[in-house]
Structure 1
Amino acid sequence: MRLAVYTGASLGSNPLFAEAARAFATALARRDVGIVFGGGHVGLMGVVADAALAAGGEVVGVMPQSLVDDETAHPGLTELRIVRTMHERKAEMAALADGFVALPGGLGTLEEIFEAWTWLQLGVHAKPVGFLDVAGYWQPLLDAVATMSAAGLVPPEHRNAAVVAQDADELLARFAAWEPPRRRHRTTGLAPTGPATTGPAPTGPATTDPAPRM
């Protein structure tokens, strides 16, 4: 069992962010839940990796060669997978993960978790998507999604499919009981079922990854 953890490459201004990231990663490791993340040693990403490794957990990083060259890769990971592009990085992380969690982060974190949430809506995968809402960090964003849903642009079942939790125990319990919503559209050639490639998407029917059991 692995979770893709998206979070910031900076520590942020609130010390609760690092405290929560450390506690979350430690709790995952103690439950034998592996972590897939962006591979960096800085910011909240580094806090997550360091805490999980210190607790004996598996931590798999996925990073483009350009960032490795910039010396931002964490040196002590269980495994570091080097890819060519940011698109390959996201596809590889999605293929490796059984679920997706956003801790406090910036634009990259936002883009990554929303892609996972969108893929769930489209039926590209059937894996849970969640937010660790540290000190109410994600609440304004979730309120905006609620506004979109009220305006008829986000189906309620897809808005409600995202898990919002305060700590690892709550998140893992809700992930274990989670069921995927009805998918909105039929998709083809989009499922992240294997290592990333730069070739064209396949033309056959999309496969839907099963929901994980935790």
Structure 2
Amino acid sequence: MRHAPSVPEIVRVDTSSLNSAVAHLISALEPTGGNFNYLDGTKRVRSAHKGLHDLKALMSASPSRAKMVGHAHNMDVVRLAAPNAFGRKTSVFNLPPRKLPYGGDRLASYRLPFFFVEEGSVKGYFLQPRKNTHFTTEQYGLMATVVKRNLLDTEFYGERVEFEVVDVSRKVNDNERSLSVYTLSELQLWSEADVAQHFRVVAAALNIIEDEQLVKKVRRPLRDKELPLFD
């Protein structure tokens, strides 16, 4: 049974030891929580970057019955993340699906909502919408390293590139969500050796989980044709 966690999921793995990586991945691959996703909120945030700089309008569309369960949580994300685009001149575009090869024959999806151009720079955009999912700045540094080296620097060679991280989680010891925004200049990029070591441990941990069948269920990728890299 093969598991394929996305790039944002594998950068959060604790690779300080093989045992810690196995434990982290077991927990991540068998999540608990509400039966909903953040696709609706993500699309509304993308609309803000496409030029709809009106929070009331962005939040006004009624959700379908299938999206009602997570509607309030999605609107919390929009309320915090969308205004970050207001007053900016951005041109949004998508890339076809891409996978990051690692660990021999493993592939991890990038799960980026979109890219945009602003003031002559091509910017990758990553939204972390989950309330209780916490990234450290070091983990965001690894995420930025992967996106810059494998997407921005290859797809847009010679162009000015940037990576923007928008996090709307509940910070540790806080009850409510809050907005944090990071760019490349604010994150410490990882060395090639450190990146390779991290992914080696992740791959080894997944091998153990699969060989010993420690996680019984394979999660279906979350795909959306309007967000090609968001799977």
Same fold (TM over 0.5): no
TM-score of the superposed pair, with normalisation by structure 2: 0.25
Which structure ranks higher in relative contact order (CA pairs < 8 Å, sequence separation ≥ 6)? Answer: 2
TM-score of the superposed pair, with normalisation by structure 1: 0.27
Q: Which has the larger radius of gyration?
A: 2
